[in-house]
Amino acid sequence: MAAAAVQPVAVFGCRPRVAGGVCFLEEQVVLHAAGAGCLRLHLEHKWHNFIPGTEKSRGVQALAVSPDRRFLALSEAAGEQPVLAVYELTAERARRRKVLAAEELPARQAVSLAFSPDCRLLAAATAPPEGHLACWLWEKRQLAAAVRLQAAGGGPCQVSFNPQDNTQVCITGNGFFKLFKYSEGYLKQMNLQRGQPENYLCHAWLSEEEVICGTDTGKLSLFETGELHWEKSLEYRKTPRNQEDTTNEYESGLAFEDNDLQQHSLPQISAVAAYSKGFACSPSPGVVLLFEKTGEKEVYEERQEVWLPQDQFSTEPKKSSRQDIACICFSPSEEMMVVGTNKSQIYMFTMFSTKLIREKISYFAYMNFPLHSNSVTGLDMCIWKPILATCSLDRSVRIWNYKTNTLQLCKEYQEEAYTVSLHPTGLFCLVGFSDKLRFISLLYEDMHVLKEFAVKKCRECSFSNGGHLFAAVNGNVIQIYSSITFENVTNLKGHTGKVHAIKWSADDSKFVSCDTHGAVYEWNLSTGKKESECVLKTCMYSSISLTYDAKIIFAVGSDQTLKEISESLIQHEVPAYDVVYTTVAVSRSGRVIFVGTSLGTIRAMKYPLTLKKDFSEFQAHAGAVTKMTITSDDQFLLTASEDGCVFIWKVYDKEGGAVKGEQEFEYAEEVLIMRSDIDEKSQAILDLQIFVRDLKTESDYELRLKDMYCEGKIKALEENFAQEIDSLKTKHQILQEEKEKQQLQYEVQLSEMMDKQAREVQQLESDSSQKLSMESEKYQELQVKSQKMEEEYEKQLHKLEESKIRAVAELKEHYEKKLKHKSVLLEEAKENIRKQIEAHEEMEKQIYEDGDKEISELKDKYEKQLLEEKESNMQLKGEIGVMNKRLNSLQKELKDRNRDIEEMRLEQQKLQDIIKSLEKDILALKTDVKERTETILEKEKHVYDLKMKNQELQNFKFVLSNRIEEFKKQIESRENDIETMKKQIHEMEEQLEQFRKESVELKLTITQLQQKQKATAGEVHKEMEKKQNMETLIKRFKADLLNCVRFINDSKKMKDGIHELYTKYVHQPGMVEAQAEDGDLQQQYKKQQEYNERNLAVLRKKGMKDKEMHHTAYMRIMQENMSLIKEINDLRQELRVANAQVHDLQSALRLNKNKKSIQDTAPSSELLSSPAVLRLNPQMESEKIIEMQQLEIQYLRDQIQEMEQALNCPGSVSFSPKSS
């Protein structure tokens, strides 16, 4: 196998005491802290996805998931300085996006994190002694704002954002509750704390303004906009009675709980979480209370208690159910609640409506399975099955399946477990406890101790690869036992220190061990003596591993090196680079070596080893790796750590492909089970089969009875429905006849209305012709006025043109003078620049010549002086300094001259820009002249358009006057119609009152019939009782008859039996008469019942019909009223518009006479643009009037039809009492 890489495929463990340690990413995906990172876990499909932390991470202290569930923020303890990092969760493998750090803040660990609703800001509360609240623009790695929190207690506990406001932050802690507002790079406090300060342990936002807080004294405080709104003190909750065990087995657990209650009797709200109906909180260990909102004074009311379950595998079930709840979270659909405890356990509860749940107390269930809560001390795997065994200081032994990612077996003992070893078959295991070594059978659902060995504090034990032997370490002696006879075969003595690790060779012929005094021994089991040894007293070995051929030993210890030992010598030593190696494992091929470190990381090295830093390191555990092993097919690497987590790694090549084993191995599926368990289960199966048979017979009998009852009911209903159908048919025929009569009446009325309409149309035509003649005279007068106005406008236009020509000429002369003056100035400036440039060039030439001469003279002088006298060196240096100053001054002058030249150039550019701007002004003036000429032409066109509009207005005025008179006549006719309709409405209201009285009478009759029905029902009940009595009597008679039938052969006994039957049943006074009377009464009762039911059904139908008719009539009247009111309002609006138009026309025509009325021109111009201008032709106007009249005729026809319907309704109502 080439150089390999590993990837975690499963993680069994949870990190406790992490702020926000458990949260939902999806409906079935949960994220929680585990090892040195976080774990994504799918509840249904059981897949695991591990998110490793930063390099040298010692575990997550706080985490937060963004509201859109795309990003994850982690606060980690890594090395000397804490780390705050943000990860992106959208990818299949989460990747780190940003690491946040600021020089302004001290390097403190973040104890709580929170994202803003828009996911742009990240709030972090740092730990004391210098508590800070910091807001980060995390995508830019920029510290947006920070505030120091001065708290008398232990500093901040929790921080959160308002779910509806991106700028509002809430932070609570020991002695303070504060709300901050983020704006423009500052955090400003919004609330003023009043009253005595309390230690707020947790809080949650219930709405945009409400925050619920929990204290260390069990008090719930509801703050609304920063002010205390509601308080409630919760009591310490005791475990419910139905959860308590009465057996003597758990007396120790009960005693422990009593002591615990005495010490911690005060409630303490350790966690709060909000959901849509209210919130959940934990006031005592092991319980969560669900509160829901009410409309009463007490804003929130307790609805349900949810308790942690007792661990049936534990020796102290009471203790397991009293864990402190550190975190509560709800799924996105709020169908599931998950909690995390201080004992590294995660529980789940399916949320139901409180209305559906009758019992107030419910219980959590494990989310998948229970986990280790303390350091894992032992780990081993077997060959036959895909299982691994672990033991821990939490006194439990667990069997895991690394293929299905499940827990198969779990059991807790009284003593701490230090080591575990699985038999190659996977049916047995060895566990070293503090008092004994136990040989345990792994049953189907339990672990059974088969044999105990007197080996105290056994730290290492191991089955041989063949499974026929096992070794156990007893101090510095290694004892070899037989797995079949349990006899002590040999004892391997020779170690002077405590043995830390033992390994069997592949063929079980050799045995290797190491101890704390630096000795590595190789033993021959056939002789029981050492074959080779390698001793290095400066090193305390902690773990060893063998290659498959047992020729090379790899050992790690306290000297921070990996040693390769062969032939009793250390061949290679690979340094660990400031880390202690704790465990080592070699692949079956021998080409890859895996090493665990004290920081919890895993390193993969390829063999042969090199002295270079040639290895791959993987982040995993938050504590030192205690145990490590590789499966026999080199597919998986199994690691355990002090943090209580077990990691299962998939081994890959560097290229990314999975490592292939030599051959595929089919795992065994055999399981051990006790004979007593088989007997119990078989007996339970038989009992259940008998119970199922009894249930089947009972259900068949009940089904038959129900069928009989349903058939009788169906027959009765069919008869009732047939009678109702007949009565409805008769009513339908009567209503059709009435409808035909009313139709004939309405046809006669329609013909009369049509004649009236024709007469009215003729009158309107004669009136319109007279109005048209009057309007034509007015039009001629307006024409004369418009001609006068045209002449005046033409004079004004001539004056304006002359004034414009003069102004343009004056502007031309002014700007030409300016141009001449500027051109003269430009020529003068150019001459000055030329002179200055020439003078500057001459100065430069003189300066360079002087400088050259002086430099040559100085060189000659210095050469002579150096040859003649060395003593005058100091004086020459002074002269050199003077000359340097001169040169510097000359250079400065040169620079100043250059600056002057550049300034002159800039001035020249400015003058050129001025010339260009003047040229642009000239062009602009020319364009202005063109535009002025164009505007003059446009105004002339506008004057012409005004003349044409004036003519159109005159025509429109004439049309409007005609329309006004027509509207006045229409209003009078409509007012008359309104009065008639009001009278009709009054009549309809009187009819409504009559209908109401009739409905009241019908209700009274219905109540009487209902009382009669109740009385008949009572009689029916009595008759049923009589019937039952008769049936019991018949049954008795049948039983007595059967007794008589026995004596058919004996005539005397038969005669006596029949005589007794006669005297008992027949010869009773009044028996026959009673039966006859009962039959007559039953017949009369049936007839009376049928008659009453028919009458009741008829009356109900009549009542319903009357109600419907009343309702429809009332609604029709209301609709007619509304339509009439709308028509009146529309006519009034049309009148107002017409009056306004006439007024505007008159004001427009009197422009020449009255100059003060300037504002009245605006409405006239609006009228020009309105669509009413189109109505100019009198023929078109008359056609529109005819169309309006036709619409009115159609409206009247609709009214006639509605009246027909109104007349139909009273007829049907009046018919109902006759039919009754």
CB distance 583 to 625 below 8 Å: yes
| Residue bearing the bigger pLDDT, 723 or 1158 | 723
What are the DSSP E strand ranges found in 35-120? 37-42, 48-52, 57-65, 71-78, 81-88, 95-100, 110-115
Range with lowest mean pLDDT among 884-888, 1134-1138, 1212-1216: 1212-1216
Given a cut of 90, is residue 1178 above it in pLDDT? no
Q: How confident is the model over 870-916, as pLDDT tens digits?
A: 676 676 777 787 777 878 888 888 888 888 888 888 888 888 888 88
Mean per-residue pLDDT for 1080-1097? 76
Given a cut of 90, is residue 380 above it in pLDDT? yes
Q: How confident is the model over 436-450, as pLDDT tens digits?
A: 999 999 998 899 999
| Residue bearing the bigger pLDDT, 934 or 398 | 398
Mean per-residue pLDDT for 1021-1026? 86
**C-alpha distances out from residue 417 to 375, 376, 378, 409, 446, Å:** 10, 9, 8, 16, 17
Cα separation of 497 and 513, whole Å? 11
Range with lowest mean pLDDT among 599-608, 926-935, 1080-1089: 1080-1089
For the chain, give the percent of residues with pLDDT over 70.
88
Mean per-residue pLDDT for 463-491? 92
Given a cut of 50, is residue 250 above it in pLDDT? no
pLDDT band at 154 (very low <50, low <70, confident <90, very high): low
Amino acid 482: pLDDT: 93
Give me the sheet containing 646-653, strands edge to edge: 4-12, 646-653, 636-641, 625-630
Q: What is the DSSP string of 653-716?
A: ETTSPBPP-SS--PPP---B--HHHHHHHHHHHHHHHHHHHHHHHHHHHHHHHHHHHHHHHHHH
CB distance 350 to 336 below 8 Å: yes
Cα separation of 1207 and 278, whole Å? 59
Mean per-residue pLDDT for 485-499? 91
Amino acid 131: pLDDT: 80
Tokens standing for residue 497:
């220190």
Range with lowest mean pLDDT among 370-374, 532-536, 725-729: 725-729
**C-alpha distances out from residue 118 to 69, 122, 797, Å:** 11, 10, 66
Quick count: other Cβ atoms within 10 Å of Cβ 851? 14
Mean per-residue pLDDT for 458-473? 93
| Residue bearing the bigger pLDDT, 520 or 809 | 520
Given a cut of 70, is residue 718 above it in pLDDT? yes
pLDDT band at 742 (very low <50, low <70, confident <90, very high): confident
Amino acid 246: pLDDT: 38
Given a cut of 80, is residue 932 above it in pLDDT? yes
Q: What is the DSSP string of 1053-1081?
A: HHHHHHHHHIIIIIS-TTHHHHHHHHHHH
Q: What is the mean pLDDT of the chain?
A: 82
Range with lowest mean pLDDT among 39-48, 256-265, 665-674: 256-265
CB distance 645 to 672 below 8 Å: no
Amino acid 374: pLDDT: 92
pLDDT band at 567 (very low <50, low <70, confident <90, very high): confident
The pTM (predicted TM-score) of the whole model is: 0.59
Amino acid 64: pLDDT: 94
Range with lowest mean pLDDT among 9-13, 409-413, 909-913, 1176-1180: 1176-1180
Mean per-residue pLDDT for 1161-1183? 45
Q: Which long-range contacts (CB under 8 A, 24 or more apart) does 937-943 make?
A: 939/797, 940/797, 943/790, 943/793, 943/794, 943/797
| Residue bearing the bigger pLDDT, 1022 or 863 | 1022
Mean per-residue pLDDT for 1021-1030? 86
Q: How confident is the model over 764-798, as pLDDT tens digits?
A: 877 777 777 777 777 777 777 777 777 777 787 78
Mean per-residue pLDDT for 1160-1172? 39
Give me the sheet containing 272-275, strands edge to edge: 272-275, 278-281, 287-293, 300-307, 361-363
pLDDT band at 408 (very low <50, low <70, confident <90, very high): very high
**Cis peptide preceding 129, ω within 30 of 0:** yes
| Residue bearing the bigger pLDDT, 389 or 1015 | 389
| Residue bearing the bigger pLDDT, 615 or 358 | 615
Cα separation of 311 and 288, whole Å? 18
Amino acid 1155: pLDDT: 46
Angle between helices 873-1045 and 1161-1169 (to 10 degrees): 60
Amino acid 252: pLDDT: 43
Cα separation of 44 and 138, whole Å? 34
pLDDT band at 1149 (very low <50, low <70, confident <90, very high): low
With CA atoms as reference, report the closest residue to 51 among 66, 40, 67, 65: 40
Range with lowest mean pLDDT among 655-659, 1120-1124, 1137-1141: 655-659
End-to-end CA distance of the chain: 102
Given a cut of 90, is residue 1197 above it in pLDDT? no
Given a cut of 60, is residue 171 above it in pLDDT? yes
Question: Residue 502: CB partners within 8 Å, gap ≥ 6?
Answer: 460, 462, 471, 473, 478, 511, 512, 513
With CA atoms as reference, report the closest residue to 56 among 829, 619, 453, 868: 619
What is the separation of C-alpha 839 from the centre of its chain, rounded to a whole number of angstroms?
A: 82
Given a cut of 90, is residue 521 above it in pLDDT? yes
**C-alpha distances out from residue 789 to 157, 941, 948, 1143, Å:** 89, 16, 13, 20
CB distance 206 to 233 below 8 Å: no
Cα separation of 373 and 322, whole Å? 14
Given a cut of 90, is residue 1026 above it in pLDDT? no
Quick count: other Cβ atoms within 10 Å of Cβ 1149? 20
Tokens standing for residue 202:
């947790």
Given a cut of 50, is residue 827 above it in pLDDT? yes
Given a cut of 80, is residue 1200 above it in pLDDT? no
| Residue bearing the bigger pLDDT, 607 or 193 | 607
Mean per-residue pLDDT for 1069-1090? 64
